[in-house]
Chains A and B, each alone.
Chain A
Amino acid sequence: MGPDRRAGAAFLEASGVTMRFGDHVAVRDVTLSLARGEVVSIIGPSGAGKSTFLRCVNLLEIPEQGSLRVGDTSLTVRPGAKPREKDIQPLRRKLGMVFQNFNLFPHLTVLRNVSLAQERVLGRSRAEAEARSMSLLDRVGLAGKAGAYPGRCSGGQQQRVAIARALALDPAVMLFDEPTSALDPEVGAEVLAVMKELAGEGMTMLVVTHEMAFARDVSDRIVVMVDGAVVEAGEPRQVMSDPSHPRTRSFLSAVLGR
């Protein structure tokens, strides 16, 4: 079953998102929507505002303005009016996020990393949470590491734990910010395999990535960001083989080495 692309069927919608750091506009009026089950990759040069945009989507950064919606939960941020934590929470709960540097909690075992928010945020009992954690750890191939501290896991293992930790909260959409950039290519491949499987199961995913093969083979659409703005979006093959924007062309020739 492919993504649901009927007109008006957008499941995640970000519109008119603008974020400024001082005088520097990091994200410039970005509008993007994903259908349920769709996988969209955001590519673009470093400093283009990809991470900042992704963090605006789950309000880790409060944009200067913009509207966000996931399913039937929405939030509009107007200039000068900072939304309150309790207005942010419902939207954030629908979004899982995976970071470039994993950001596991070093003082908790792998099992506790995956279980903590289930207990504190979803109110699951410890037994219930840990049972769910074990099934997710099993799924990412790390059931054997449940009792280990993150410092005793390789980078690839840590990132798979981070994915399990996000999935444990049953998010509607998963956000990934360059999940393999801190990893060696072979190790990154383990992580990409998990992501590919997730995509195959119909998870809606927004992925900032430098992995052109992943962007081309796994995503339904590629969005190109340059200088804080979306300059191009379309089918992966079309964007990669026949980019219409000169900045896309120079970016692609730099990363693909051609």
Chain B
Amino acid sequence: MFQYTGYILAGVGGTVAITVAAFAIGALLGVPLAVASRSGHRLVRWPAISVIEVLRSVPNLVWLFLVFFGLPEVGIRLGPWATAILTLGVTSSAYLAEIYRGGFSGLGQGQWLASKALGLTTWDRGRHVLAPQLARVVSPTMATYAISLLKESALASTIGVVELTFRGGLVSQRTGDGLTTFVVVGVVYLLLSLPLAYTSRRVDSRLRAKFSVG
């Protein structure tokens, strides 16, 4: 089986690509979603909250199948890669929006009052006061989410995306050695997530040494 290790490792790129792309989409789309979900206007807030709840309540696997097998029936046809990246990206935006929301409420109202009293514009308050503190508050939770998204990316194998897990499946069928094959696949996921967890801890404790927020 070990002669196939190289074939399995060739899936790392695909797994990382799905994770990074979906995370980037989610991190970006999550910002307007989080802001809208805290809006003072009901007509803005309610749709945003509904979108977040719907996205989070349906399993990612069901979303993937819906997009991959369902949308072609209404004429929208996406390839497996595009389906995986867009679907996981959009559902991530809901989870990340919730993480941002949590960060917002952790920041004291005093920060907002003080920056207003200084005459900073809404943009400057967001850019120089809110965002940096928010980044500090939410980055550990975001790193945790990135690790879970890395694992969720394995779902893409079910719609034929040839990434790590898909390759593991092929190898185990070919060799009949599912045990060794999926231990190798599991170890690869572990090795991918460890540096993420380590870096996040390091960055967090370094920032914590300088200042704490909220």
Contact = CB atoms under 8 A, between A and B. Distances in A.
Closest A-B pairs by Cβ, 8 of them: A103-B114, A103-B110, A117-B118, A97-B117, A149-B211, A121-B119, A106-B211, A120-B124
Contact of A60 (B117, B210, B212, B213): B117
Contacts of A95: 117
B120 A117 contact: yes
Contacts of B111: 103, 105
A151 B211 contact: yes
B133 interface: yes
Interface residues of B, number: 23
A121 B120 CA distance: 6
9 contacts: A55-B113, A60-B116, A97-B114, A99-B110, A99-B113, A99-B117, A107-B213, A120-B124, A149-B211
Contacts of B118: 116-117, 121, 165-166, 169
B68 to A, nearest CB: 43
Contact of A103 (B113, B121, B124, B136): B113
A97 B108 CA distance: 17
Contacts of B108: 101, 103
A216 interface: no
Interface in B79-131: 108, 110-111, 113-122, 124, 128-129
A58 interface: yes
Interface stretch (A85-93, A191-199, A200-208, A240-248): A85-93
Interface string A98-118: 010101111100000000110
A87 B116 CA distance: 14
Interface of B: 108, 110-111, 113-122, 124, 128-129, 132-133, 136, 210-213
Contacts of B136: 107
Contacts of B119: 89, 92-93, 117, 121, 169
Contact of B211 (A55, A99, A150): A150
Interface in A142-169: 149-151, 162, 165-166, 169
A247 B89 CA distance: 62
Contacts of B128: 116, 120
B207 to A, nearest CB: 9
Interface string A163-182: 00110010000000000000
Interface in A126-142: none
Contacts of A165: 118
A145 B206 CA distance: 20
A165 B116 CA distance: 13
Given A107-B132, A120-B128, A92 B212 contact: no
Nearest to A101: B110
Interface string A223-239: 00000000000000000
